[in-house]
Structure 1
Amino acid sequence: MGVAHAADALLPPEPQVTPQAQIQAAAASLDKVRKSLDDAETSDTLQVLADQALKSKRDADAAVTALEPLLKQLDQRVEQLGTKVEGVEESTDLTRQRKELAQEHGDLDSAIKRGKLLSVEAAQTAESIEKLRTQQFNAQIASKALSPLSPALWKQFSEQLPLDLQRISGLTRLGQASFRAAIAEHGWAMPLRGIVLALLLLFPLRMGLRHLGYRYAASERAPDGRLRRTGLAVWLLLVGTVLPGLASLVFIEHLRAIDAITPRLQSVADAWIQAAFVAAFFLSISASTLVPKRPSWRLLAIDDIAAPTLTRYAWGAAFLTWFAMMLNAVDIAARTSAVSTVALDGLIALTYVGLILSVLVTITQQRQRLAAPAIKGEHGDAGRPVQRSSWLMFAWLGGHLTVLAALVAALLGYLNFSVFVATQMVWITVVVLATSLLMKFADDLCTWFFSPDSRPGRGLAQGMGLRPTRVEQVGVLLSALLRVSLLLLGLAALTAPFGNASSLLGWTASAAQGGLPVGDTVLKPMAIGRALVVLVIGLTVFRVLQHWLVETYLPKTDLDIGARNSISTVARYVGIILSGLWTLAALGIGFEKVALLASALSVGIGFGLQAITQNFVSGLILLAERPVKLGDRVRIGDQVGDIRRISVRATEIQTDDKSTLIVPNSELITKSVQNLTMDGALGRISIAFAVPLSTDVVRLKELLLGIYRSHEAVLEAPAPSMYVDSLSGSVINITSFGHVSSPRQVYSTRSDLLFELLRQTAEQGIALSSATDIHLVRNRADAAPVPPTTPAAPEPASHTPTA
């Protein structure tokens, strides 16, 4: 082993292919494709040529992508040299550098232009090949042959059958001879090893993995909900599709390793592998969705009577598809007659029609069983609601139309169309089932993974500092993205038999390598993924920093709560802005383009977003100047409340009735606002009342100031005071003042003082009055008592008799 490594170290390194050489090779490959178009007759050959053309396009795009940064670097070097000044003689080195850079710039520019032109030509060539394939496909589908009911077809078939059997026999003898020669040279070790590995993959490993899937899905470690069933179904689909196909691939590759397969049978061997994968996929999708022996794990609305029957039909469809693919490969390799091919295609088409009819009968019988309880309920028996499945109705209707079209086409002699329609019905059914299963699994997986009740969801919420609802929103968005991607993949799989798969794959590969051009910027899938990762990391890092700033550092400072809120808010928006700029840089969008976009939007911001911009700038001024801060008590118009939150657009004020007043920041900047608690302002209590003119004001002053001093909320400094405001008629107007530590205590303290004032003045016999009161005073000794006045009774009416 050491000698081998030493020998490898002595070998010269492999030369790297330059972008210019890659463009040259792509051009040569495209020329070869164009020359081969004249000899291409079959659809498979055209498919190979289309793939080669698309490969030339991808190579050209990759070379252009590699050369463009080099051209930009060369332009920067040219800019560093500056422009040549006329009349000034430059040094020899500078002149030589200018000449070399100009030569390199010209070579790179011409190579890039050639690569772009080659990419366009390759795309046009691939498109023309696809159109040619489509025309051949349409012509083949529309071709008419003898009807299977025609005796002439079977007469020709019987005449050609001995010759076709001889051709197949000759192909078989050729394969046997090649196999015997390989065994004679290499022995049985390699074929036996391939058989053993294939059997191990097909039976012990496949059945063991299926058992492990069932066991895990039934255990307590599996997630709750529908994810148990969809996850098990996807596992069964994956195991049942991959392992049988791999078994066929391993066996064939072991035979190819000793050249046991003759060149004429190579296409048959490839068809064997493809047919194994397709048949295994058919069987796996039916087994994972129908689950005939475990009804509780069944995802489709199929009862226990129809599930085993539909499973048997799935086996029939899988075998028929495998047999049709192998028969087609053998016909091509043995070069059998066209009559035999037409006759066998007719039999295959009629067999497909019979199979689809059997499936439709089973679905119809289930619909009748589901409708039976409802019919009994109409006659008075207890019936349950009928459970109808939309996909069953769609399959029932589509199946009848397909059977009718395939049967009529086969009887009229359009056998290719009949086979195509029948096989497409089976393929569409399988693709729809697989796509719906994967979409359900993606939705269940994302919902469970980002659920606050699951362990991953709790870990994400705690690690990133997100609320549970935000984590659920991420799961819903990711589920929607995955389901849309799976739906597009399913549509691509449905259109693949029509000859557009290569174009779709080529467009996808070009988008993955060259990116999606948006203006002057090219967005690549890797760049988009990297930008999303950068955005998540940036927001997480700045959220952690803000949490540390608010919870750890700022409480240790001497700043008040308002200053801490301003710093926290500014830090939050700075983190969002920096994360956004970092994300744009990861996308490849420079800051100069962001500035250009901002300048282009300035007109719209000035007119359409004027109010929002004004409030945003006002919010920044509030956070910087802090004329009002968090916790201040302010008066705006007739509203008084405490500031609870200051953002860059609006300020939230909580009034005394516990409602929230949202004030735009521009209102706090451009209008008058009374800050009742700015700079530690005290609250002042003012009590005004009136007493009669005869009141002893000295005793009243001692009483009132004593009430102020006795209350625990009233401050000693400034000391309470009482003033005679004015003399008005028969009353004395008194005004008194006291101070409390906060304006929030004014209302309650004033109420306590008024209660105490009313109580003590009543005990001291001091009358309280207002200037509008009128008092009538008279001498009681001189006044005679006035008897109560009673209303006089009405006199009875007199009636004079008339003569």
Structure 2
Amino acid sequence: MGNAWKLMGLMVLVLFGPGSVAVAADSSPVGLVTKAEQSTLVVAQNDLPGLQARLDGLKQQVSLADSLSQLVSLQDLIQAYLNDVERQQSALLPVQAQLQSQLGVLGPASPDEQAPENTDIAIQRIHLIEQKDKLDSSLKTLAGLKASATELTTQIAALRRSRQRLSAVLQEIGATLASVWQPGQRLASSVLLLLVLAIWTLGRRVAERGLVWVCIHRMPEGRLRRSSLALASILATLLTAACALQLLFYAVTRQLPLTPMLQNLAEEIEKLVYTCVLITGLSRALLSTRHPSWRLPAIADPVALAMEHFPQILAGVLLVLVTLSQITNVSGMSTQVVIFGRGVIALIVTLIIATLLLHISKVRKAVADSGEAPEAGTTLAGLMYTFASLATVVSILALLIGYISLARFITYEIVWIFIVFSGFYLLMQLLKDLCEYLFSPRQASGKALKQLLGIGDARLEQVSTVLSGAGRASMLLFALIALLVGGVGTTFGQLFAQALEILGGAGLRKLNIIPGHLLNAVLALLIGVYLIRSLRRWLDNEFLPKTAMDPGMCASLSTLFANIGYALVILLTLSSLGVKWTNLAWIVSALSVGIGFGLQEIVKNFVSGLILLTERPVKVGDLISISGVEGDIRRINVRATEIQLSDRSIVIVPNSQLISQNLRNVTLGGSAQGVATLELTFPLDIDPEQVNNLLYNAYCEHESILDHPAPFVRFSKLTPDGITLTVTGYVSSPRVVGKIKSDLLFEILKRLGAAGISLVKPAAE
């Protein structure tokens, strides 16, 4: 039944369908499309290679076009090509619909078609499927050709726009230059240009020589003069370049103001010029080939001479190539052109750096082979050389495999790292030399600071070291920020703004620290410390000596005043910074954790020191004995107390021990008396009364022995070896006990010898 229905459907299609069934006269398979449609399909398939060849030719012509007229004519040719493709598609779409409808009438193949009476239907279906597959493939190819041609049209439009904009930029530049070279303006323009050239050449030399003269005749001889000479060279280069550039812009724009497009281009070129000036100025200052004794880094003369011209070449190449790249960016050239320009810049800069590194290595090897003294190598210099070499190799590999953006980034970063490292190296050397000069005890500034602050040479050197270290640490922080956020063409203003944005993060904003308050905080700290030291000297030298207090009490009050004063100065400094006390909770929490784990001993000693200064169980000048140590208290500090022994040595005892341990204060209250006791052993056959009177009289007759309490002689013990007598007397102070006992012993031995009384000799062991 299924085959019967299919035969009926085929008959209906033949009799009443939109196209008749064409049957070949010979024994070939019968087709279900008309002869006209078959010829259309054959023609379309034969035209596809021609259409592809036409598209390839158009692409080649677009790549070689160098004028707007050629691009316009090519755009017309591509439009005609699109019309031909669409005409082919329009001719094939009805045939595709016809084949699809005929296949729909025949339906899918079934197992019954294996019968002999159904063989014609299967052959017809296979033939229709083959024709439809060819037709679908042709339509797909035509769709791809149409898409490629449409994309090519878009590229031509972009090229036309970019070239039109480039032409507009060149026209604007030409109009600007023509305005300053028109009749009546040529003389003034020539004079201004000559003046620009004179400032950049002669002016730079005059400015550099003037600053060098100032450094030589006004700066002290030494490291400060050398770093000042390097800075003078850079300043002369920057200042003359800035003057020449501003005068050049005035000469070009005095008649016709720049358009917004040219203004943007001029700003970018100005940044580029300053970058190139920094490259040449820093290299000239650090290499110092004309005056090797002025050179800051440890670079051998042959190496410096070998490197002399490379920074100038690099600056010139960057100035020319990056200017052209900026023009292409402003004019809106295509992405391919921009990437090509970046690749050229990266390639040339990489080759210059690679040549420099190879040349340096060759010169160093030659110096080593010649037997001359090699330059002093440092770890930092080795790391920089290794980093530059690796970066150069990576940049070349990136260019070879097509990563142009990566190669450009690496080369620009090498140049930027050189600028940042050289600039901050010079500034850190200058800061170090300046601190050493200002705080030197041999200089007038150091002597004035000593007299003003009342500090010694050692403390002045400590201040110099601390300020120099803090300044260099701050510069290193800014250098790191400059490396992270800056790049070639970044201005000082942009770097400073980025640094403030990074340093003024959420944490500092919560503390309300504003950079403008830093000066107030520094002034508050310096003035506060000066006032405390001045008031302490006034207390020690003028006020306290005129009171009835003992010296120990005076020393304790002076120390307590200084500690409280320094604490108040710290609080005042934080207030000047704008720190709100409610925002210091995290600091208190951190300190509490630190105190609980590592600072508890320090805090305990600090609190003990405050107790010693307020309750005064001991004071400066007291004679104490603790843990086998006996001596006079010399100073009570915040953490520990200094005890001076009889041999003038100092023992440092933590304050907590003076509070928590048993302590003997011999001179507490100022009324302590010393006890001079001698223990002597006599033979058994002596007259006890005679010896008693002799000892008693010797003590009573000594002028240092007090009458009250009176001296006395005591019978200590009786042994087979002899009689032991102990004589005791009191003196005014425990500090003189040792001397008085020595005097008494000499006197007693003298009187015993005169009376014929001897002491018991020690038994031989």
Please state which band the TM-score falls in when normalised by the shorter chain.
Answer: 0.5 to 0.7
Q: Does 1:311 align with 2:308?
A: yes
Contact 2:536 2:558 in 1 (8 A): yes
Which of 546, 550, 557 in structure 2 is aligned with 1:560? 550
Distance (Å, rounded) in 1 between the aligned partners of 2:689 and 2:206 = 105
C-alpha distance after superposition, 1:97-145 (max 9, x if no partner): xxxxxxxxxxxxxxxxxxxxxxxxxxxxxxxxxxxxxxxxxxxxxxxxx
Contact 1:517 1:523 in 2 (8 A): no
CA 1:740–1:269: 2 relative to 1, 3 Å: same
Contact 2:666 2:672 in 1 (8 A): yes
C-alpha distance after superposition, 1:497-520 (max 9, x if no partner): 4999999766545467x7643595
- The CA deviation at 1:240 is 1.0
- The CA deviation at 1:564 is 0.9
Distance (Å, rounded) in 1 between the aligned partners of 2:299 and 2:632 = 64
SS of 1:292's equivalent in the other structure is: coil
Contact 2:623 2:631 in 1 (8 A): yes
Contact 1:534 1:586 in 2 (8 A): yes
Q: Which letter does structure 2 place at the counterpart of 1:174?
A: A
Which of 290, 293, 306 in structure 1 is aligned with 2:290? 293
- The CA deviation at 1:211 is 1.2
Q: Which letter does structure 2 place at the counterpart of 1:371?
A: A
**1:684 counterpart residue number:** 675
**1:156 counterpart residue number:** 64
Q: Compare 531-540 and 267-276 and name the one that shifted more.
A: 267-276
- The CA deviation at 1:297 is 2.0
CA 1:398–1:156: 2 relative to 1, 3 Å: farther
- The CA deviation at 1:450 is 3.5
CA 1:510–1:267: 2 relative to 1, 3 Å: closer
Within a 5 Å distance, the mapping from 1:602-641 to structure 2 comes to 615-636=605-626, 638-641=628-631
Contact 2:415 2:488 in 1 (8 A): no
CA 1:159–1:617: 2 relative to 1, 3 Å: closer
CA 1:402–1:574: 2 relative to 1, 3 Å: closer
SS of 1:293's equivalent in the other structure is: coil
Contact 2:181 2:189 in 1 (8 A): no
- The CA deviation at 1:277 is 1.6
**2:743 counterpart residue number:** 752
**2:451 counterpart residue number:** 462
Q: Which letter does structure 1 place at the counterpart of 2:270?
A: I
CA 1:592–1:722: 2 relative to 1, 3 Å: same
SS of 1:643's equivalent in the other structure is: strand
Within a 5 Å distance, the mapping from 1:35-50 to structure 2 comes to none
Contact 1:511 1:524 in 2 (8 A): no
- The CA deviation at 1:584 is 3.0
Number of equivalenced pairs: 608
Distance (Å, rounded) in 1 between the aligned partners of 2:604 and 2:398 = 72
CA 1:601–1:432: 2 relative to 1, 3 Å: closer
- The CA deviation at 1:655 is 3.1
Distance (Å, rounded) in 2 between the aligned partners of 1:389 and 1:281 = 25
Contact 1:631 1:644 in 2 (8 A): yes
Distance (Å, rounded) in 2 between the aligned partners of 1:499 and 1:206 = 22
CA 1:714–1:279: 2 relative to 1, 3 Å: same
SS of 1:653's equivalent in the other structure is: strand
- The CA deviation at 1:300 is 4.1
Which of 430, 435, 440 in structure 1 is aligned with 2:424? 435
Q: Which letter does structure 2 place at the counterpart of 1:476?
A: T
Which of 455, 468, 471 in structure 1 is aligned with 2:460? 471
Q: Which has the bigger relative contact order, CA under 8 A and spacing at least 6?
A: 1
- The CA deviation at 1:361 is 3.4
Q: Which letter does structure 2 place at the counterpart of 1:434?
A: G
Q: Compare 729-738 and 648-657 and name the one that shifted more.
A: 729-738
**1:445 counterpart residue number:** 434
CA 1:267–1:194: 2 relative to 1, 3 Å: farther
CA 1:254–1:404: 2 relative to 1, 3 Å: same
- The CA deviation at 1:546 is 0.9
C-alpha distance after superposition, 1:668-703 (max 9, x if no partner): 445543333332323232334465677556654554
**2:704 counterpart residue number:** 713
Which of 238, 243, 246 in structure 2 is aligned with 1:246? 243
Which of 723, 730, 740 in structure 2 is aligned with 1:739? 730
Q: Which letter does structure 2 place at the counterpart of 1:556?
A: K
Contact 1:439 1:486 in 2 (8 A): yes
Which of 352, 355, 362 in structure 2 is aligned with 1:355? 352
What value does the CA root-mean-square deviation take over the aligned residues? Answer: 4.5
- The CA deviation at 1:560 is 1.5
SS of 1:652's equivalent in the other structure is: strand
Q: Compare 336-345 and 659-668 and name the one that shifted more.
A: 336-345
**1:233 counterpart residue number:** 230
C-alpha distance after superposition, 1:50-72 (max 9, x if no partner): xxxxxxxxxxxxxxxxxxxxxxx
Distance (Å, rounded) in 2 between the aligned partners of 1:195 and 1:705 = 114
CA 1:511–1:363: 2 relative to 1, 3 Å: closer
Q: Compare 156-165 and 574-583 and name the one that shifted more.
A: 156-165
Q: TM-score, normalised by structure 1?
A: 0.64
Distance (Å, rounded) in 2 between the aligned partners of 1:706 and 1:518 = 81
Q: Does 1:535 align with 2:525?
A: yes
Which of 757, 761, 771 in structure 1 is aligned with 2:752? 761
C-alpha distance after superposition, 1:202-245 (max 9, x if no partner): 345432331133334445x5345433333221221222123213
Q: Compare 639-648 and 684-693 and name the one that shifted more.
A: 684-693
Distance (Å, rounded) in 2 between the aligned partners of 1:369 and 1:752 = 83
CA 1:295–1:687: 2 relative to 1, 3 Å: closer
CA 1:721–1:360: 2 relative to 1, 3 Å: closer
**2:540 counterpart residue number:** 550
SS of 1:631's equivalent in the other structure is: coil
Higher-Rg structure is 2
- The CA deviation at 1:294 is 1.7
CA 1:608–1:730: 2 relative to 1, 3 Å: closer
Distance (Å, rounded) in 2 between the aligned partners of 1:575 and 1:714 = 47
- The CA deviation at 1:178 is 3.3
Q: Does 1:178 align with 2:179?
A: yes
CA 1:433–1:560: 2 relative to 1, 3 Å: same
**1:486 counterpart residue number:** 475
Which of 267, 271, 277 in structure 2 is aligned with 1:270? 267
CA 1:665–1:719: 2 relative to 1, 3 Å: same
Distance (Å, rounded) in 2 between the aligned partners of 1:669 and 1:402 = 64
Distance (Å, rounded) in 1 between the aligned partners of 2:611 and 2:497 = 55
Distance (Å, rounded) in 1 between the aligned partners of 2:275 and 2:694 = 104
SS of 1:259's equivalent in the other structure is: coil
**2:211 counterpart residue number:** 213
CA 1:654–1:237: 2 relative to 1, 3 Å: same
**2:572 counterpart residue number:** 582
Contact 2:180 2:186 in 1 (8 A): no
CA 1:686–1:225: 2 relative to 1, 3 Å: same
SS of 1:749's equivalent in the other structure is: helix
CA 1:646–1:177: 2 relative to 1, 3 Å: closer
Contact 1:620 1:648 in 2 (8 A): yes
Distance (Å, rounded) in 2 between the aligned partners of 1:413 and 1:636 = 81
- Aligned-pair identity in percent equals 33
SS of 2:677's equivalent in the other structure is: strand
- The CA deviation at 1:567 is 0.8
Q: Which letter does structure 2 place at the counterpart of 1:202?
A: W
SS of 1:523's equivalent in the other structure is: coil
Distance (Å, rounded) in 2 between the aligned partners of 1:607 and 1:489 = 34
CA 1:365–1:670: 2 relative to 1, 3 Å: closer
Q: Does 1:675 align with 2:662?
A: no
Unpaired runs of at least 5, structure 2: 1-59, 71-162
C-alpha distance after superposition, 1:150-207 (max 9, x if no partner): xx999838779999998787445422443367x86xx689857855764564345432
Distance (Å, rounded) in 2 between the aligned partners of 1:169 and 1:607 = 72
Q: Does 1:570 align with 2:560?
A: yes
CA 1:278–1:708: 2 relative to 1, 3 Å: same
